[in-house]
Amino acid sequence: MAVEPQYTPQPFLSNLPPEPGQRRFALAVTLFSALTFIALAPFAKLPLAEVWGFIPAYQSAIVVIDLTTALLLFGQFAILRSRALLALASGYLFTAFMAVAHMLTFPGLFAPSGLLGAGSQTTAWLYMFWHAALPLAVIAYARLDGGLDAEPQRLGRPAIAIAGCVLAALVLACALTLLATAGHDGMPAIMNGNSYTLGMISAVASVWVLNVVALFALWSRRPHSALDLWMLVVLCAWFFDIALSAVLNAGRFDLGFYAGRIYGLLASSLILLVLLVENGKLYARLAAALQGERRERQRAQDKTLELNALNESLERRVTLRTAEFDEINVELQAEVGERERAESDADDARQRLAGIIESAMDAIITVDDQQRIVLFNSAAEVLFDCSQNEALGASLDRFIPERFRASHAEHILRFGRAAIATRRMATQRVVTGLRRSGEEFPIEASISQLALNSSKYYTVIVRDVTERMRSEEALRRSKRELDEMAAVSATAREQEKSRVARELHDELAQALTVLRLDVNWLRQRGLASDAPSAAKLLAMEKMLEHTVAATRRIAADLRPLMLDDLGLVPAAEWLVENFKERHGIDCRIAVSPADLKLADPHATAVFRIVQESLANVARHAEAAHVEVNIACSDAEINLRIRDDGCGFDLSHPRKPNSFGLVGLRERARLVDGEINIDTAPGRGTSIEVRIPFGGPSGRAA
């Protein structure tokens, strides 16, 4: 008696249960669609611009997507012969046909009232037929599908069934289009221009009820396949499409009109994307199966050749076995001798290693994965004031302060999981050791791990860094003192320069000016009776005028009085103008904000950096143009001096007695600033300085 083979479902979207990831993703898509719908619903009647290009773009996308989806579903029907898939594919094909008719008859798109003899109600009724088709197809799909475990009813010739469904969908689409165009006058009016009439409520309610019935029919059929799950998501999006574009909105070209069609595009695209992904997986499985079959065939051929070779070599091996036994005996004797020598060498190596460990200057400690000490060298005995006999077998926590033991254990656990073999400790903070007496001391440690016979060992090399830390602290203290001395010295220099400049300006320059006026008075009164005396008086007057100018220039170079009297911006502008007059180099200054006011030491630091930078340009740059930019925010000052001169190589050592860049860096450092120099031979120099404000007093009110 023949036994019929048990039906095994093929791995397709329509007969496989959804994976947990697919369920979560489908739920996320549905929730996102629902939340977006809730957000858009109150604004559905908001009128928007009439974008006529949106209609053909949207309709064309719908047609292409639905045709492609129908083609893929027909392809799966050709393999599975499932009538449910045939019904669903026919529904998608019909929606594509209706989308074409809807686009051609849309009023104002291709003709004022649409093509195909359309009237004012044609497009609206075609929309209703179009959106009723998919729920009807889903209801047929749910009724015809027997579930995941049921064997589908097979049709004899799938090509004939597909052709019949294509023809039926086309005929039905043409008939409904003819009804909405030629029979337009007999159809109830549901549109008034671009707005809806009360008759729209009944039509939309019917389509909406169909959508709800389709949802219930598909949801009540258990268990769900992956295709069922995604069709439920599509029906939800279809539901939101109808609600926004035909229920909640006021008419065409409002927010609901556009948003509803975007939902429709989402609903049409979703199944296509899922089917494309499924086809990709199917192709991958097919390729893997083909590759596996090829490997099995090749393996069988290789086995056959191998067996033949083994049969041929077996006879030769039997005849050679006796001779091989003799050779093996000789090799065994040689191997025994080699093993004895290797064991002797290993003993020597262990002794050398033990000697190296014991003579090491640093403490070396090895623990097992339970943190028990298995090696404790002489340096460790001295460092921790603990004998080797006391340490071996004890926990490493004995030499770690109690407050650090938990974090140390976590650190060792993370290190053991890591792929690296060694790691430096105390790179971010000080590691603290504990002597037997309870004294804590700073240490530097390096840790390594070794896996041996399913166990793991950690070796730590420890060094006492107490003296080094004291030296580093002394060095830091000395540096702070030097910085303080440098700041005090710079302040004193500036104060002395200010005092000398003011004395030169207020006393010497004024006295020389009075003297020049007296000489001029004598010369103009003609008190010199002869020409030589008059010439001498004129020369004296010119000399005094030159001396007064030189005195004022020297006073300004020492410290311009306007820096103290008027502030940084006038002083910097004077400095730039004086630089242009002295050296004939075009120089421009930009200050932001224009009314910038800075208090010392920031004002002096910025002025001196600009002054020294311009002096370096005049001496070395051979520049034709210099730009000075000063920008200030609530947090910092940004200064940039850029020239188009010859530039220089920063990597070259500085010239003897040349301290220009050193002086700039020192000026910036005294106010906690940072300086960056960008230069290269032939492309000029850019000096950028960033000076943070140390507190509220850093910037003048």
Amino acid at 247: V
Give the residue, 314 or 382, on which the prediction is more confident: 382
Contact 547, 519 (CB under 8 A): no
| Of the candidates 476, 423, 416, the residue with the CA atom closest to the CA atom of residue 447 | 423
As its CATH architecture, domain 360-464 has: 2-Layer Sandwich (3.30)
Question: Half-sphere exposure of residue 469, counting CA atoms within 13 Å on the CB side?
Answer: 13
Note the pLDDT of residue 4: 43
Mean pLDDT of 410-427: 66
Partner residues linked to 249 by β-bridges:
none
d(CA 85, CA 80) in angstroms, rounded, equals: 9
**Cα 134 from Cα 218, distance rounded (Å):** 13
CA gap 69, 91 in Å, rounded: 10
Residue type (1 letter), 138? V
**1 or 250, greater pLDDT:** 250
Of 61, 98, 91, which is closest to residue 73 (Cα–Cα)?
Answer: 91
Q: What is the pLDDT confidence band of residue 135, given thresholds at 50, 70 and 90?
A: confident
- Joined together, the tokens standing for residue 91 give 């529904």
Average per-residue pLDDT for the chain = 74
Name the residue with higher pLDDT: 57 or 424.
Answer: 57
What three-state secondary structure class fits 118? coil
Q: In the prediction, which pLDDT does 695 show?
A: 41
Residue 361: pLDDT over 50:
yes
Q: Please report the pLDDT score of residue 104 as a whole number.
A: 79
**pLDDT confidence of residue 565:** 66
Q: How confident is the model at residue 626 (pLDDT cuts 50, 70, 90)?
A: very high
Of 437, 435, 438, residue with least CA distance to 462: 435
Sign of CA dihedral 44, 50, 51, 55: positive
Given pLDDT bands bounded at 50, 70 and 90, which one contains residue 338? confident
**Residue 444 and residue 426 in contact, taking contact as beta carbons nearer than 8 Å:** yes
pLDDT digits (tens, 9 = 90+) for 606-625: 888 888 888 888 888 888 89
**Residues 95, 93: Cα–Cα separation, whole Å:** 5
Q: How high is the pLDDT of residue 656?
A: 47
* pLDDT at res. 514: 65
H/E run at residue 158: helix 158-181
Residue 1 has pLDDT above 50, yes or no: no
Q: Is the pLDDT of residue 528 over 60?
A: no
Mean pLDDT for the stretch of residues 665-672: 80
Arithmetic mean of pLDDT, 555-561? 59
Tell me the mean pLDDT in the region 26-36: 77
Report the C-alpha gap between 437 and 210 in whole angstroms.
87
Q: CA-CA-CA-CA torsion for 408, 409, 413, 419, nearest 10 degrees?
A: 30
pLDDT band, residue 658 (cuts 50/70/90): very low
Best-predicted range by mean pLDDT (8-22, 428-442, 611-625): 611-625
What confidence category does residue 3 fall into, taking pLDDT thresholds of 50, 70 and 90? very low
Do 606 and 567 form a contact (C-beta atoms < 8 A)? no
Instruction: Measure the CA–CA gap between 335 and 354, rounded to whole angstroms.
Output: 28
For residue 79, pLDDT over 80 is answered with: no
Per-position DSSP letters for 656-673, written without gaps between them: TT--HHHHHHHHHHHTT-
Catalogue the E-assigned strands of 536-606.
Answer: 586-592
Class of 567-701 in CATH = alpha beta
SS (H, E, C) 35-89: HHHHHHHHHCCCECCCCCCHHHHHHHHHHHHHHHHHHHHHHHHHHHCCHHHHHHH
Amino acid identity of residue 147, one-letter, is G
Residue ranges covered by each domain of the chain: 360-464, 472-559, 567-701
Is pTM beyond 0.95? Reply is: no
Are 516 and 545 in contact by the 8 Å Cβ rule? The answer is: yes
Mean pLDDT for 436-440 is 80
Give the mean model confidence (pLDDT) for residues 492-503: 60
Task: Look at 4-13, 52-61, 97-106 and tell me which has the smallest mean pLDDT.
Answer: 4-13
Q: Once rounded to an integer, what is the mean pLDDT over residues 111-119?
A: 68
Percentage of residues in the chain with pLDDT exceeding 90?
Answer: 3
Mean pLDDT of 288-299: 78
- Token couple for 265: 């595009």
Judged by DSSP in three states, 587 sits in: strand
Which of the two residues, 685 and 352, has the higher pLDDT score? 685
Nearest to 151 by CA among 228, 73, 80: 80
b vs e for 48-69, b when ≥16 Cβ sit within 10 Å of the residue's Cβ?
A: eeeeeebbeebbebbbebbbbb
**Which pLDDT belongs to residue 698?**
46
pLDDT band with cut points at 50, 70 and 90 for residue 655: low
Average pLDDT over residues 402-407: 79
- Sorted by sequence, the CB contacts under 8 Å of residue 629 that are 6+ apart come out as 589, 590, 591, 592, 638, 639, 640, 641, 642
pLDDT of residue 217: 77
pLDDT at 155: 57
Cα distances (angstroms) measured from residue 510 to each of 34, 498, 504, 519: 87, 17, 8, 14
CA distance 71 to 688: 66
Least confident of 302-311, 516-525, 582-591: 516-525
Q: Cα torsion at 122, 127, 129, 130 (round to 10°)? A: 130
Identify the residue whose tokens are 């995604």: 230
The secondary structure of residue 655, as a DSSP letter, is P
Q: Which residue has the higher pLDDT, 692 or 369?
A: 692
Q: pLDDT digit string (tens) for 228-276?
A: 777 777 777 777 777 777 666 666 677 767 777 776 677 667 666 776 6
Give the integer Cα–Cα distance in Å for 281 and 180: 43
Decide if pLDDT at 156 tops 80: no
Q: Closest by alpha carbon to 13, among 219, 235, 227, 223?
A: 227
Q: What is the pLDDT of residue 271?
A: 67
Under DSSP, the state recorded for 598 is: B
Torsion, Cα of 595, 601, 604, 609 (10° steps): -100
Helix (H) or strand (E) holding 336: helix 255-359
* 494 compared with 414, residue with greater pLDDT: 414
The rounded percent of the chain whose pLDDT value lies above 70 is 70
d(CA 57, CA 63): 10
The token pair that represents 514 in the structure block: 């009075």
Cα(493)–Cα(602) distance, integer angstroms:
15
Report the range of poorest mean pLDDT among 118-122, 375-379, 381-385: 118-122
* Phi (first) and psi of residue 397, to 5 degrees: -60, -20
Which pair of tokens denotes residue 242? 């109808």
Sign for the CA dihedral angle at 224, 225, 228, 230 comes to positive
| Residue 99 phi, psi (nearest 5) | -65, -35
pLDDT, mean of residues 458-465: 81
